[in-house]
Structure 1
Amino acid sequence: MSQSAPPPQPEQVGAAQPAQPAQPTQPFQPTPPVSPYIAQPGAMPPPMPAAPRKNNVAVGLITAVVAAAVVAALYGVVIGATKHEIGYAAVGVGFVIGLAAGRFGGQNPALPVVSAVLALGSVYLGQLIGEAVIGADLLNVGFNELFFQHFDIVQEAWKQDADPLTFLFFGLAAFAAFSGAKKAAA
């Protein structure tokens, strides 16, 4: 068997060395490894993570109201052009309102409820706009005249045309707005 040599010792030549005061030991701190992926000068920095959403109810409400007005007008034009109510369009109305409220308003629990109420109003307004577009064509009058000066006639026409499917579209739009606001805020 062979024995291993003892580790080398500091020089002990001749005289004894003066005693040095003991220095406090520090814990071992390894040096960070050098990454082969160090950014070169002029390189794009890595993307920053998205900031967490804040509960900004005012911005969410304003955005949802604006979205409700825009999609109500679009829904009314679609109804006027096709002369039919379209269920997918009512769902789209609700979803767009909910998406706007949740995306810009955050996770406030009031926003899905407000979105559903706005969706109901937006679908109703869109259906009234559609009735006015259809009525204006039939009566050979302008849309503005019929809608703004004879709104009672437009509402009466809506009441006569309303059927169970009309109210189903209200429910679908409200549900889409509620769930859209929840999903957009998550």
Structure 2
Amino acid sequence: MSQPVPPPGNPFAQGAPQQPDGQNPFGAYPPAPAPRQNNLVLGIVAAVVAALVTAGVYGAIMGGVEVEIGWAAVGVGFAVGFAAGKVGGSNPVLPVISAVLALGAVYLGQLVGIAVFFTKEFDASFADVFFKQFGMLVDLWSETKEPMTFLFLALGPVAAFSGAKKAGQ
């Protein structure tokens, strides 16, 4: 009895065999669903969550080093826009909404930074300073603002708009 002779060469190097239309080449399981795109509501929710998280991080950094940092404001904006665009898709409203949310996030981050500074300086609770003395924080922000403050407030929305456009493509 003779053994069959295998074909010459590597049979695995020739690529995957062609499958009839509608069949998954990886087995009987259906392919994973495509990510949701152009979902305005989910994009806005993602942008709001990113805005709140990055505002806290920006404020902690700002309060820790006791100085405003421009790249951090850009990071806040880009994170908000990227989250909106990645989750919400290419909806043309998302870059505008993310820019507005980034503006609020940078402002809120500056207030958090002032609260962190006071927490360290006066050995107080952050919750007491931020929530019970919020009006004082806003007044203090108004008294201490300078041209660079407004530059940082502008950098965040510009980065958010750009991030949302790029992530939504």
TM-score under structure 1 length normalisation = 0.73
Larger Rg, first or second structure (1 or 2): 1
Q: Give the superposition deviation at 1:54.
A: 2.2
Q: Give the superposition deviation at 1:156.
A: 1.6
Structure 1 partner of 2:7: none
- In the alignment, structure 1 residue 167 sits paired with structure 2 residue 145: no
With over 3 angstroms needed to count, the CA separation of the structure-2 counterparts of 1:38 and 1:178, relative to structure 1, is: closer
CA distance, structure 1, for counterparts of residue 139 and residue 14 of structure 2: 74
CA distance, structure 2, for counterparts of residue 124 and residue 155 of structure 1: 10
Structure 2 partner of 1:77: 60
Q: How does 1:33-182 map to 2 (within 5 A)?
A: 36-38=14-16, 45=26, 51=34, 54-182=37-165
CA distance, structure 1, for counterparts of residue 77 and residue 71 of structure 2: 10
Alignment length, in residue pairs?
Answer: 146
CA distance, structure 1, for counterparts of residue 67 and residue 14 of structure 2: 63
CA distance, structure 1, for counterparts of residue 69 and residue 77 of structure 2: 13
SS of the counterpart of 1:108? coil
SS of the counterpart of 2:15? coil
CA distance, structure 1, for counterparts of residue 95 and residue 33 of structure 2: 23
With over 3 angstroms needed to count, the CA separation of the structure-2 counterparts of 1:161 and 1:57, relative to structure 1, is: same
TM-score under structure 2 length normalisation = 0.80
Q: Which amino acid aligns with 2:89?
A: G
Which structure shows the bigger proportion of residues in helix conformation?
Answer: 2
CA distance, structure 1, for counterparts of residue 99 and residue 123 of structure 2: 36
Q: Which amino acid aligns with 1:73?
A: G
With over 3 angstroms needed to count, the CA separation of the structure-2 counterparts of 1:153 and 1:50, relative to structure 1, is: same
Q: CA RMSD in A?
A: 2.1
Q: Give the superposition deviation at 1:53.
A: 5.6
Q: Give the superposition deviation at 1:172.
A: 0.7
- In the alignment, structure 1 residue 184 sits paired with structure 2 residue 162: no
In structure 1, stretches of 5+ residues that fail to align are 1-34
Structure 1 partner of 2:20: none
SS of the counterpart of 1:141? coil
Identity %: 50
Q: Give the superposition deviation at 1:167.
A: 0.5
Most deviating of 83-92 and 139-148: 139-148
Give structure 1 regions of 4+ aligned residues with deviation exceeding 6 angstroms: none
Q: Which amino acid aligns with 2:53?
A: V
CA distance, structure 1, for counterparts of residue 154 and residue 80 of structure 2: 14
Q: Give the superposition deviation at 1:142.
A: 1.4
Q: Which amino acid aligns with 2:15?
A: Y
